[in-house]
Chain A
Amino acid sequence: MSALVGTMRSLKFSRELVLLGVLIALIVVMTLLDPLFLTPITMLNTSRFFVEVGLMALGMTLIIITGGIDLSVGSNLALVSVAVGFSFAAGLPLPLAILFGLVVGVAAGLFNGLFITLLNVHPLVVTLGTLALFQGLAYGISKAQAVSDFPGWFAYFGQAYLGPIPGQLFIFVMAVAVVWVILSRTSFGRYVYAIGNNEEAARFSGVPIRKVKLALYSGIGLLVGMAAVIYTSRVYTARGDSGVGLELDVISAVVLGGASIYGGSGTIGGTVLGVLIIATLRNGLILAGVPSTWQLFVLGVLLLAAVFVNEFFRKGEE
């Protein structure tokens, strides 16, 4: 047994390759369960559901690499959705309402960032507080009502197709490219890893820790804003309970993608694979007729298993 563990640990494996293998295996299993699964139409349709989680997971990857976390993304999505819907209902032209929503998203993220950097409190506590605060504001402002009388062109963000390809897939691919460049090809990206590896050492090396963190938490606010607009357009309704519990999907995807929850490691490629695996799993469970009650359970267990496997192999690499 211990010999087996030793061999497994000594294997020099690429995490991305393993995840790709898992994804392919998952698709094969799903196809066996339901032949309809492996059709281009189904696959492309799946993409309509993971773009929102994917956008937020990109920002969350960078935050988790610094050793932080943002639990408030689901509530922030609800807040932006309500901001867009209810400013529009109050008479603001829709383009301005969407802009207002994005500003709200960034402001909410900046609020998190300021709290975390000025008071030097762990992000976990701050975003646990704002998880409740943003959710409450979204409920309170919307008075638990919904807005859905948007003009027809609003559907463009979440329901449009370019040929057979859902429109939001292009937004996601662009966002992936931008965030990848930032993380892998800029000094800002190196700062992110430096903070996660050793914040104290990074500070003494002259890394502007506060500015980096403020940028990260505001940045995820912008991504949440974009996700909220797409979500609101896709379901064509602005409600205070949009995005409840989405933080679980987002954090699971990032951790599944190999980012260490203790900070210092993680890649955009891994996160994208994590997002795809979770989306395939969710979609597959639905297609296979598995009751939705199982999905929460599967996702919760998956999150725990992913963290455990991650740390297990990381110990082997050291």
Chain B
Amino acid sequence: MSETRAPTPTERGGAGGESVRRFLARPAAPALAFLAVLLVAFTLANDRFLTASNLESIVDSVAVLGIIALAVNQVILCAEIDISTGSMLGLCAIAAGAVSLSTGGILLPLLAGVAVGALAGAINGALVTLGRIPAIIVTLGMLYALRGVILLVTGGTWITGVPEPTRFLGTGKVLGISVPVLILFGLFLVMELVNRHSTWGRNVFAVGGNRVAARFAGLPVNRVRFVAFTLVGVFVGIASMIYLGRAGSVQTNTGVGLELQAVAAVVIGGTSISGGRGSSLAALTGAVLIGVILNGLILMGVPGIWQDAVLGGLILLAVTTDVLRRRLVGDKA
């Protein structure tokens, strides 16, 4: 909750040490600092790095990841987890792609992708809240079950030749800015507003911070969590249109491993994995950070097969930083 909590008397001192502490108390602070250092380092190492077009292409490349991370962020803020998004993206993209092949256009494929995603997300949410099964088991089961559904409905074949109008959300430009970037920042602003000013947004923090207290305070704990899981499905559906536009085709292994990247983006950005503390800015920062690092690895000539190792190392580093920072700030949350 620290993003908007009132400063405590000890924090109002205004001394140098205090402002550092206050900066550190922001969930996204370490990731933002790290991102700034990386940007400076890459700029010094390669003078073509800090150009508007290169930065745009980096953000463009993490749009799918960032949108999913924004929603997974809400689930993690509720002190739950969702590791089914990789298979979910594949299934949504297949639904959107199939509709696009028969009708064309943007709206109907988008609706198909969002509907399939929302349904899958709602199943996750229902199993977690009504079935009382831990989210990790539910979404692990769904990760494999949905991949199975993908193989079943496609019979192992690809969807190719997606018509040009449908691909606008992935490849188009509006006012000179690429559409995926606009969608990512649009959804980021929406989530920031939701988290600051909507009842559901505030409830998410309360449920994740202390579920028992939230229940005693009369909050609809199950409904809050159900909505969060369903929102993941909706955002994955939107992201699937960007994927479809960029790739122009869907394979049966579309989205494999994305579930890890989404969780990584959220925790690297600074949202606490134990829930209740974090922000949408953290999820966005984490996603961009992953994009910059993967981009940097390519610039440094590191083979792509090391990506998983770097990602895993980053998750562990982020978790360690989170724990150490909390001990430093003296926050027991």
Q: List A residues at the B interface (Cβ < 8 Å).
A: 69, 71, 115, 119-122, 124-126, 128-137, 139-140, 143-144, 240, 245, 247-248, 251, 255, 261-262, 293-301, 303-304, 307-308, 311
Contact = CB atoms under 8 A, between A and B. Distances in A.
A248 B147 CA distance: 13
Given A122-B274, A261-B134, A300-B142, A293 B309 contact: no
A147 B313 CA distance: 26
A139 B303 CA distance: 10
Greatest chain B CB density within 10 A among A136, A294, A295 is at A136
Interface of B: 81, 83, 127, 131-134, 136-138, 140-149, 151-152, 156, 260, 263-264, 267, 273-274, 303, 305-313, 315-316, 319-320, 323
Contacts of B136: 69, 124
A293 B148 contact: yes
A95 B328 CA distance: 48
Given A129-B312, A136-B306, A144-B305, 7 more contacts: A124-B81, A133-B316, A248-B140, A255-B137, A300-B142, A300-B144, A308-B133
B145 A301 contact: yes
A137 B294 CA distance: 16
A307 B260 contact: no
A56 to B, nearest CB: 15
Contacts of A130: 312, 316
A307 B323 contact: no
Closest 10 CB pairs of A and B: A297-B148, A136-B309, A133-B312, A136-B308, A300-B145, A132-B312, A129-B315, A293-B151, A300-B144, A296-B148
A126 B319 contact: yes
A134 B263 CA distance: 17
Contacts of A119: 319-320, 323
A118 B305 CA distance: 30
B333 to A, nearest CB: 13
Nearest to A296: B148
A132 B137 contact: no
Given A125-B267, A296-B144, A300-B141, A133 B152 contact: no
Contacts of B156: 293
Contacts of B273: 121-122, 125
Given A132-B260, A304-B127, A262 B305 contact: no
A234 to B, nearest CB: 23
A134 B260 CA distance: 13
Greatest chain A CB density within 10 A among B141, B145, B146, B260 is at B141
B131 A133 contact: no
10 contacts: A121-B273, A121-B319, A124-B136, A129-B313, A129-B316, A144-B305, A248-B140, A261-B134, A297-B151, A304-B131
Given A125-B319, A128-B83, A129-B316, A297 B145 contact: yes
A299 B144 contact: yes
A136 B148 contact: no
Greatest chain B CB density within 10 A among A115, A128, A251, A298 is at A128
A230 to B, nearest CB: 24
A308 B309 contact: no
B137 A133 contact: no
Contacts of A129: 312-313, 315-316, 319
Nearest to B138: A304
A17 to B, nearest CB: 24
Contact of A294 (B142, B152, B267, B319): B152
A79 B315 CA distance: 19
Contact of A143 (B127, B132, B151, B303): B303
A296 B147 contact: yes
B152 A126 contact: no
Greatest chain A CB density within 10 A among B142, B148, B267 is at B148
A134 B310 CA distance: 10
Contacts of B137: 251, 255, 261, 303-304, 307
Contacts of B260: 128, 131-132
A128 B139 CA distance: 13
Contacts of B303: 140, 143
Contact of A128 (B138, B263, B309, B323): B263
A262 B133 CA distance: 9
